[in-house]
Structure 1
Amino acid sequence: MASKATAPVRFKATLRRPAQPRAAAWRFLVLPAAASAKLPTRSMVTVEGTLAGAPFQATLEPDGEGSHWLKVERALYEAAGVEAGDTVALAIAPVAREPEPTVPADVRAALVAHPEAQATWADITPVARRDWIHWITSGKKAETSGKRLATAIDMLASGKRRACCFDRSGMYSKGAMGAPEAAE
C-alpha cells in the first residue's frame, strides 16, 4: 500500500472567485474532505501536481473545517484554460522537501537586528519558519502583526523553535484560518 504522504491524491473541485478583494486576480478551490484526509496533515502542506493538466507547486492552507483550500494564481488557471465556476481535475502529492518560505522584509530586518533570534531562525526547519511567518502576518490589523513580530523575535532570541499558541489546522481558532468566501 502506498504511503499516505506520497500517494498521489486525485479529485475534482470547483474553481471559485473570492468575494474579497473584489478585484482579486486569483481564484481558489476547496479540497473535498476525502481528498484532504489523504494528506499527511490538517495544517499547511506544500504539494505539487496538476490542475486540469497544468503543473504547479503550492502550499495548501487549512480551511478550519478539517480540510484544505488552494489559492490558484492567474498564471495557473490561465495555463489550465479554466475559469471560476469550472469543475477541475487535480492530482496532487506532498513535496519531498519543503521549500524555503518567502521572508517578508520586516521579518528579515528584525532578524538581522537581533542576532540571537537570527541564530535560532537559521537552525529551524522550513516548516517552522513558514509557521512563524504565517503567525506573524495573519493578524487582521497591522498593529497585531507588529506585536506578533516583536513577540516572535523575543521568543526566537530565547531559543523557542515553534510559534506559540498557533493552531496549525485552523480548527480551534475560528477566523484565524479558513477558505475565502466565494463571490456569487
Structure 2
Amino acid sequence: MATKAEPTTVECTAHTELIADRMIVRLPDDASAALPSRGQIAATVTVDGAPYPTVIEPDGRRGHWIPIDDGLRSELDLAGGATVELEIEPTKEWPEPDVPEDFSAALADASDLTETWQDITPMARWEWVRWINATKNPVTRDRRVEVGVSKLRSGKRRPCCFDLSSCTDPEVAKSGKLVEPE
C-alpha cells in the first residue's frame, strides 16, 4: 500500500502586493503547484529569514497567497512591491483560527456545543471561520452564524459545500478569486 509523501519545503522569490490596506504575497505558479493542496495549507513560512507560522490561502485560480500581518510587515519593513525570499514548510499542525466575535458569542451562548467545537479539528474550525467570514452582507453573515450553530448541533463537523479552493476573504476577493492589486 502506498503512503502519502510528507510535504516538502518549497522555496521561491515573490513580491508583496497591497490590496486595499492588506499586504499579501501571491505565490508563483510553480511554488503553488508544489504545495500539497489547492485549498488552505497550514505552514511555517520563512519570509526573508523571519519564521512566520500562518495558513496559506487559495486564490481561486489554482494558486495561493500568503497574508502578511502588520507585525511581520513592520519587522521586515516591507512595502508594496518588495521582493521577498520565501521558504514554505507545510505542516499538519494547524494554528487555532481567530473566531469572529459574532460566531464566538453564538458558540458561547450554545454551551451544549463547547465539547463539539473543541472536538473538531483545527482545520475544520478554519473552514467554519472561512465560511462565516466569506460574505460582506450582514444579513447573510447573521444567517451563517445561526445556521453554523444549527449544523454543529446536528452533528455536522464541516460547514457545507462551498469551494475550498476559492478565495473567501471578501476584503481581497471578488467572486471567489483573489483580486489584482490597484
TM-score range, shorter chain: 0.7 to 0.9
Q: Determine the structure 1 residue equivalent to 2:178.
A: 179
1:14 aligns with 2:10: no
Percent of aligned positions with the same letter in both sequences?
A: 36
Show CA shifts across 1:97-126 (max 9, x none): 111112222212211222343332222100
Match of 1:44 among 40, 47, 70: 40
For 1:179 and 1:70, how far apart are their aligned partners in 2? 11
Q: Which amino acid aligns with 2:15?
A: T
Match of 2:67 among 68, 71, 79: 71
Structure 1: 4+ residue segments shifted above 6 A: none
Deviation of the 1:130 alpha carbon: 0.8
Q: 2:120 aligns with which of 117, 121, 124?
A: 124
**Other-structure match for 1:139:** 135
With over 3 angstroms needed to count, the CA separation of the structure-2 counterparts of 1:54 and 1:107, relative to structure 1, is: same
Residue type of the alignment partner of 2:178: A
Q: How many residues were matched structurally?
A: 174
TM-score (norm 1): 0.85
How far the C-alpha of 1:180 sits from its partner, in A, is: 3.8
Gaps of at least 5 residues in structure 2 are 168-172
| Structure 1: gaps spanning 5 or more residues | none
Task: Report the AA paired with residue 182 of structure 1.
Answer: P
2:81 pairs, out of 82, 85, 94, with 85
SS, match of residue 178 in structure 2: coil
Cα offset for 1:176? Answer: 5.0
Q: What value does the CA root-mean-square deviation take over the aligned residues? A: 2.0
Q: Deviations over 1:101-155 (max 9, x none)?
A: 1222221221122234333222210010110111012112111111111111111
1:4: Cα distance to partner? 5.5
Secondary structure class of the residue paired with 2:85: strand
- Give how far 1:177 is off: 3.5
Task: Please give the secondary structure, in 2, of the residue aligned with 1:65.
Answer: coil
Structure with greater proportional strand content? 2
